[in-house]
Each structure stands twice: as C-alpha cells, then as structure tokens.
Structure 1
Amino acid sequence: MSVAAPPAPVAVIVPTLRRPDSLTRALESLFAQTGVADRLAEIVVVDNDPAGSAAATVEAVRARSPWPLVYCHAPVPGVATARNTGLLATAAPLIAFLDDDEAADPDWLAALLAAQTETAADVVFGPIRGRAPDAADWLKPYLEDFFGRNGPVRTGLIDQPYGCGNSLMLRRTALPGPAPFDPAADQAGGEDDALFAALAARGGRFGWAAGARVDEFAPPHRATLTYALARAFAYGQGPSQTAASRRDWPAVVRWMVIGAVQMMVWTCAAVPYLIVRSPRRAWALDRAARGLGKLFWMKGLEPHFYGASELARLDATASA
C-alpha cells in the first residue's frame, strides 16, 4: 500500500522598508495563523533598508513566533530585489507573500493553501480590505476602495492575475530561477505584472481564495489623492507596457486608443464633480489617470514608488 506524501511546506515572505510598527502588526497577524501548524515552515522578513533597521523589530517579536522567524538583509533598495532575496532565504516549495503594510486574518494562510489544493493553480490570490485611517473624511471611501481588492464570491480559477501582496505561489512553476522578479522594476514596481504575464504565456493558471482576507493600511504619506492618482497612472501603463515587452505593436496601439478615450471621457465626467467638490471626483480622476497611463506608457515616464524613492519619502516625512 502506497503512503501519501506529506503536504508541501510553505514559507511566508514579508518584505519591509523602515515600517517598524506596521511590520510588527503584520508579523503578529502571522503568529496568530490557525490550521497551518503542519505546513508553515518559516516566516522570512526581508529588510530592504540599507541601515538594516528591521533587525531590532524582528528580534523584539522573535520569542512570540510559533514558527522559525528568519531575518535577511537586502541592502539595495528595490521591491524586486527584496522579493528575490526572500526567495533565496528559503527552500520551501510553496511561497506566500504578505506586504509589511498588511495584516492577515487568522485563517488567511489556511484559506490560500486550501484554494491552491482545490484549483491546482500556480498562483492564488486573496481579497484585501483597504484601510486609510489618516485620510481626509471625503477621500477615505475612495482610498479604502483603491487600496482594497475584491474578487469572486467563491474560490476557484480566475482569468486575470492580481498583485503580489496576499498571494500564494507554487515555486516550481510560478517562480523559476534564482531571481524570478526583474530588478529593473525595483523603483517603479510592476515586477509582479511581468512575472505573471510570463507565467500566463507558459500556460500558467491563476486562482482565487475567497476566504484569504487581509487588511492593507495606507500610511499617511500614501493616504492622499496625489499619491493614489500617480499609482493609478502607473497601473494604466501596465497593459501597454506588457504589450510593448512582447513587441505586439498592434496591441500597444489598441491600448493607447483605449487609454485616450478613457482619459477624455473620465476627465469630462470629473469636471462637474470638481465644481461641486463631490467625493466622486476621486473615482473619476482615477479612471482618467489610468487612461493617461495607457497612452503615455513609455520607459522613463514611470512614477517611482519603491526603493530609493520610498526611502526619500520616508526621510522627508521624518524630517518634516
């Protein structure tokens, strides 16, 4: 009689950049995970601060961790570099990502693992509840929607991927090679878009775990309309840039035309909202910004949100 193989272990990677309180909240949520005692091999914290500031935070909570807590330092600031460094620190065949501004529900990891088993997907995503406690009252609903993520009501396969935060990946198929995230995206982001586009081209499958919920907290310097619109512009660039990377120029033109129409329609829609100062202006400007991004997708026009740019923002906030 054959003996069933034990379930594959999973490591959770938490990249972080100078957010001690937020990192502590994220780690405490991982320490409280239920139903994964036989699956969770280790929690890997990747400190992307050149000064190694997260080491003290990790040591302060280490005794409370039910699982091995691994600290590694990625001194060159960049989102793709941080993720790649985390992967080098673990041999687990399943990899979950939780961002340092997120806090997971107690059944988060169990829900991701169950969904991966059910769907056999290469990557599984879960819903995100956006939180913007420091935002202006009129802007808070938009920002909480912006930083959140909704999907199907039920667990199952999906056609399109989401972002890397709150995800579970089958390493063998979804994360090939020692550095699957492109360091060229270190400052602007989009490293996950490129990874998932390549996976889809190889026939990879994406899944949705309806019960794998996390909260994502927008820090004060991100809880602004200016920041959100810059991110919306960058999101809009994604489809055009992906088509350009494949040298699919007809698709690039199509996305640019779609973007031009989207920008014009939503800019016109925003005007009356701006005049009466309606909160709806935020949603209309968001869609206009996404259209503008599809139109102006070219390299060199990407806003920078990570790495050295994020460090500069944090330094400016600290000195203000």
Structure 2
Amino acid sequence: MRISVVIPTQRRTAGLETAARSILGQTGAPFADLELVIVDNDKTPSAQPMAAALAAEAPFPVVYVHEPEPGVANARNAALEQARGEFIAFLDDDEEAPAGWLAALLAAQARFDADVVFGPVRGRAPAGVTRHRDYLETFFSRQGPPEAGLIDHYYGCGDSLLRRAALPDPKRPFSAVRNHIGGEDDLLFGQMKANGARFAWAPEAWVWEDPVPARLSLGYTIRRAFAYGQGPSAACAAADPPDRLGLAFWMGQGLVQAGVFGLLAGLKWLIRAPDFAFTLDRAARGLGKTLWWGPFKIEFYGRSAA
C-alpha cells in the first residue's frame, strides 16, 4: 500500500463526510495503491457508521481507527500506526479537496524528491457571515509562493504529504506534549528540518477549508492568533539545549509588535476601520510571542465527551 490519506475527526460527521467524499472523487491518483484512514478521536465511536458507509462504496480500502484517548497528537499517531502507506497525506475534517489534489501533491513530491509537500488552503465562510468576512477567510487560509518549488520553512499538517521514511518515528512521530494546545506538527517538522528534511510547496494542491460556525468569530480567531504567536518562542524554549538567544529575540519582537499593533488596533476600533481585525490579529500574535509559557497556554484540542 503506497499512499495513505489520513483524516482525523472528532464529532464532525458532516465535515468528515465532505472531506472523505472528496477523496473518493480524486482523479489522476493511483487508486490501486491508495487507502483512506479515518481516525475517530471521540470516546464513543461516533464516526464508525459514517466510515462503514464510505467503505461500502469506496474504490479503495477505508480503514477506521478508534482512538478514545483525546488529543490531536494521539489521533495522528493512532492513524499512522494503522496506515500502510509509504506516503501519508493529511486532510482535516473541515477541508475539501478538489479532484486533482492528491495527484498534485504526489507530482510535487516526485519532482523535488521532497520529504514533506504542502499545499494552499482557501478559507470559505458561509454566505451569511458578513462581519469581518475578509479577515475570517484570510485567517483560515494558507498562502504561499505562486510557483512550485523547494522551501526552507514549513506549514501545518492539514493539506500535506509526508514520506514515512523521513519521519523520526515512522509510527508515532507526533509529540503528546502538544495534545491539547496543538502545534504537534510544528514540533515534528522543526525536528525534521533540523535533520535535513526537504520541504516543497505545491500551489496546485489546494483545498477548501470550511470552519465550523463556532470558529467564525473574533473571540476564537484572536485566541488562536495568540497561540500561533507562542509557537516560535515555545520552540526555542523546547530546543535541546534551549535556544535562549532565539527566545530573547522572539519575546522582544513580540513585545514591540504587541505594543505597536495593539495601539493601532485601538485607534482603528474607535474609527470603525474595516481592517481592524487584521491589526488586532497582529497584536495578539505579538503578545503570544512574549507570553508563551505554562499559565498562558490555551487548550484547543483533546476535549472529548464520554
């Protein structure tokens, strides 16, 4: 089995069905060498009926994995333990892949001999969302270079293709310390970069992202921007040995960023400027760089009902 497409999910059956059916509709990919792995991170196997229904009509194997222990790293690791592919493609359960998505990822991997390939994400808000619409769709998007090629940085796991042989652990590469706050992919890709992994960008391998309604608000996105800002500082602190110079740099930059953009956001709020949310986002990311340690960590994952 050469290629495994992994979709982690937790109580999002509608989004799961959209994501999974977009895999069933792929063209140009070698179906004979393909499997779909659905990993259910709910304590009760709520996604199992959907997985069974998809398996009955899919032209390739559909593997259902139940990981009751909550946590985003737990879910990804459970999928990799069961997946048989030498290449692992990740799609989130709020994403939808156009028909040529997987073929584009595979083509970029072969062209650049890449260990990880990333593609763009296009945020898509429902028609009823009017307030801060441009900001929200931008927030849930991923942009990159207009041309395909090797890159010296990395993105998140959703919409990516990994070569299993390049992983530091072929079955459980994601760190459990990030189960509840996210960033498990940043830790993995950072480690891979330090080990000399090759990253590539495939602009043709784009996907839609349809955020759940609860996330389409400044209350969610600004908290998430703060958490994103914590990433580089936390990575420096977690390095072995700790990168104290890098940590001081990011914290100092964050302090300036939070002050400048925080003041500017306040002024834009007073005059009801249309780009207020963009400025507030930058202030939150700066604050996250400065306040990155324990008490300021925000949990976004790992909450599962009994």
Q: TM-score, normalised by structure 2?
A: 0.96
From 47, 50, 54, the equivalent of 1:54 is: 47
Cα pair distance change 1:213/1:91, threshold 3 Å: same
Alignment-derived partner of residue 257 in structure 2: 262
1:245 aligns with 2:247: no
Alignment-derived partner of residue 286 in structure 2: 291
1:114-153 aligned within 5 A:
114-133=107-126, 136-153=129-146
Alignment-derived partner of residue 302 in structure 1: 297
Worse-matched range after superposition: 179-188 or 30-39:
30-39
| Counterpart code for 2:106 | L
Q: Which runs of 4+ in 1 moved over 4 A?
A: none
Q: 1:39 Cα shift? A: 5.9
* C-alpha RMSD of matched pairs (Å): 1.5
| Counterpart code for 2:213 | P
After superposition, give the CA deviation of every residue in 1:13-49 in whole Å (9 maximum; x if it has no partner). Answer: 0000000110000011000000113564200000000
Residue 34 of structure 2 aligns to a residue whose secondary structure is strand
From 9, 15, 24, the equivalent of 1:16 is: 9
Task: State the alpha-carbon separation in 1 of the partners of residues 32 and 150 from structure 2.
Answer: 23
Q: 1:60 Cα shift? A: 2.4
The 8 Å contact of residues 134 and 223 in structure 1, kept in 2 or not, is answered as no
Q: 1:264 Cα shift? A: 0.8
Residue 137 of structure 1 aligns to a residue whose secondary structure is coil
The 8 Å contact of residues 135 and 223 in structure 1, kept in 2 or not, is answered as no
Worse-matched range after superposition: 60-69 or 197-206:
60-69
Residue 307 of structure 1 aligns to a residue whose secondary structure is coil
| Counterpart code for 2:255 | A
1:84 aligns with 2:106: no
Q: 1:131 Cα shift? A: 1.3
The 8 Å contact of residues 37 and 63 in structure 2, kept in 1 or not, is answered as yes
| Counterpart code for 2:35 | E
Residue 35 of structure 2 aligns to a residue whose secondary structure is strand
Alignment-derived partner of residue 211 in structure 1: 204
The 8 Å contact of residues 95 and 168 in structure 1, kept in 2 or not, is answered as yes
Q: 1:213 Cα shift? A: 1.0
From 181, 184, 187, the equivalent of 1:188 is: 181
| Counterpart code for 2:244 | W
Count of residue correspondences: 304
| Counterpart code for 1:43 | L
Worse-matched range after superposition: 75-84 or 55-64:
55-64
Q: Percent identity?
A: 47
1:28-177 aligned within 5 A:
28-38=21-31, 40-133=33-126, 136-174=129-167, 176-177=169-170
Alignment-derived partner of residue 268 in structure 2: 273
Task: State the alpha-carbon separation in 2 of the partners of residues 281 and 38 from structure 1.
Answer: 47
Q: 1:279 Cα shift? A: 2.8
Cα pair distance change 1:115/1:157, threshold 3 Å: same
| Counterpart code for 1:174 | L
Task: State the alpha-carbon separation in 2 of the partners of residues 53 and 119 from structure 1.
Answer: 39
Alignment-derived partner of residue 318 in structure 1: none
Task: State the alpha-carbon separation in 1 of the partners of residues 21 and 171 from structure 2.
Answer: 29
